[in-house]
Amino acid sequence: MKNLVETAIEAGNFKTLVKAVQEAGLVDTLSSEGPFTVFAPTDEAFAKLPEGTLESLLQDKEKLTEILTYHVVQNKVMANDVVNISNAKTVNGKNISIDSSDGVKINNSKVLTTDIECSNGVIHVIDEVLLPN
């Protein structure tokens, strides 16, 4: 079984996320034992950001790291577990809200695919980039 980073690379629709993780220097962390839960925005999700946002983030390692770690929760949280919780603390220290009343939403982002299991955690695919307040 592949780790989180290898799985994201192989999937093919997380090219922007993988590039951002590489730029932020988080490959080793997300390849480590974990376990982690990653709410992974697709390339389409990154494309929804205002023009120039992604480019400026890739130049600002600190801000990029803050945003990327806002997509990661320590421990493995499967879809069945998500329906029982209303928020989770991310690796960057801030909480994300979880709403499972109509599908599952993380903040305002819809979860598109759940439970992509990896050797060191799980990936849930989301349709928007989560931005910490």
Within a domain: 119:
yes
CATH number at residue 47: 2.30.180.10
Within a domain: 132:
no
Within a domain: 32:
yes
Within a domain: 21:
yes
Could you give the number of structural domains in the chain? 1
- Structural domain range at position 116: 4-126
Within a domain: 122:
yes
What is the arithmetic mean of pLDDT over 2-20?
Answer: 97
State the average pLDDT for the chain. Answer: 95
Residue 125 φ then ψ, to 5°:
-85, 130
Write out pLDDT tens, residues 44-64. Answer: 999 999 999 999 999 999 999
Within a domain: 133:
no
What is the arithmetic mean of pLDDT over 27-49?
Answer: 96
Parallel/antiparallel/unpaired status of strands 109-118 and 105-106: antiparallel
Q: In what order do the strands lie in the sheet with 121-126?
A: 72-74, 36-41, 121-126, 109-118, 105-106, 95-99, 87-89
Residue 112 φ then ψ, to 5°:
-90, -40
